[in-house]
Structure 1
């Protein structure tokens, strides 16, 4: 008798088998329908159906095949497993950017996140994704090290604030001091607009926490390259709740920006 691993190997060794079983779990189908759905040949579909019947995963009623309760159970299980593996593959190279204090978040909570990673030929992919989110929000809050994220798009960010984007940034003092001294004229209008609030905090996370109207983004900063290597954004309620709580904890401990504070 085959082991459970043998059965998994059988089912997943050929992509059409999973597709066919899932399709039959959805509704009864003919051989022709399965050939069209899977892209497999007639002989391959015939062999697959015989193997499914041997395992009692499907039954035939007239010209149609349908999944048994056992087959539907297997189809549901393998679909869930494949979904989990796809989530792991998506997060594998960026998981280390996730905050340590976010460990209480379930991986399922970020399974639908948009993951944008910098590429050799497109190092600003995360920044460009950030800008697209910025254009769709009316309120923006940020805590962390934002220079690598905001500096490349400083002109558009300035314009959005002056045009009415309600913005609050919690900065480390050295970052705020750098921006004020490097771009004094650039900062003048946003600060005078009344739309920008800058707070200072001495112990911020090494990642960036972005709060938009209805999405949360976490930016992963690489201190060696000085660039944002990844941006992970989601509207999952569990993540949004965590982000609001985390941001407010930093906000409560922050102090207003003054010339003396960054001198």
Structure 2
């Protein structure tokens, strides 16, 4: 009975973000869904997904993220800056506009981060509608509202099948990503 209740609760949370989910997650066996922790933005707690992501970052030593987006990363930029300073390996693949935003909004800290060997930013023009992050202990999938880029939900899990999918997805986009042109970003 507890398993059934847990599955129903998972389905209720997923119902609101179903349209944002990657097709591959939808196709995972239902048993995998019960391993998903879903953090949904609500009218009275719009930053809940961002805060959840920030808590997951606290103890990671690596972060690889495909389409992290401004709405998610801006909330935890201070922590990201600290983690890069502590030697956490980070590679971010995002749209050129996102990198331009951070270089213009945080010029000094962005420049300092870019000078670190453990921080790499790449760009790609044809990214999926969702974000995929690989941390030491878990995988995160960020669901963005189309058009605004608002973080609608964050899904995190330790499920091996999701990690395998996330790693494959990340590697596919990494193969065709290109380095950010710093002169272009600074404009």
Answer whether TM exceeds 0.5 for this pair.
yes
1:199 aligns with 2:135: no
Q: Which residue of 2 aligns with 1:236?
A: 159
Match of 1:180 among 99, 103, 108: 103
CA RMSD between the two structures:
2.0
Match of 1:131 among 22, 41, 54: 54
Q: Map 1:45-64; keep pairs closer than 5 Å.
A: none
Match of 2:70 among 147, 164, 170: 147
Q: Map 1:25-174; keep pairs closer than 5 Å.
A: 81-174=4-97
Unpaired stretches in structure 2, ≥5 consecutive residues:
none
Q: Which residue of 1 aligns with 2:113?
A: 190
Q: Distance in 2 between matches of 1:83 and 1:219?
A: 22
Deviation digits for residues 102-161 of structure 1, max 9, x if unmatched? 443223212121111112222111111001100021100111152000112211111111
Deviation digits for residues 24-67 of structure 1, max 9, x if unmatched? xxxxxxxxxxxxxxxxxxxxxxxxxxxxxxxxxxxxxxxxxxxx
Count of matched residue positions in the alignment of Structure 1 and Structure 2 = 186
C-alpha displacement of 1:180: 1.5
C-alpha displacement of 1:259: 2.1
Q: More helix by proportion, 1 or 2?
A: 1
Q: Distance in 2 between matches of 1:207 and 1:128?
A: 18
Larger RCO (alpha carbons 8 Å, 6+ apart): 2
| TM-score normalized by the length of structure 2 | 0.89
C-alpha displacement of 1:84: 3.6
Give the 3 Å change call, closer, same or farther, for CA 224–188 of structure 1 in structure 2: same
Q: Distance in 2 between matches of 1:237 and 1:112?
A: 10
| TM-score normalized by the length of structure 1 | 0.65
Q: Distance in 1 between matches of 2:153 and 2:98?
A: 20
SS of alignment partner, residue 137 of structure 1 = coil
- Computing the radius of gyration from Cα coordinates, the structure with the larger value is 1
Unpaired stretches in structure 1, ≥5 consecutive residues:
1-77
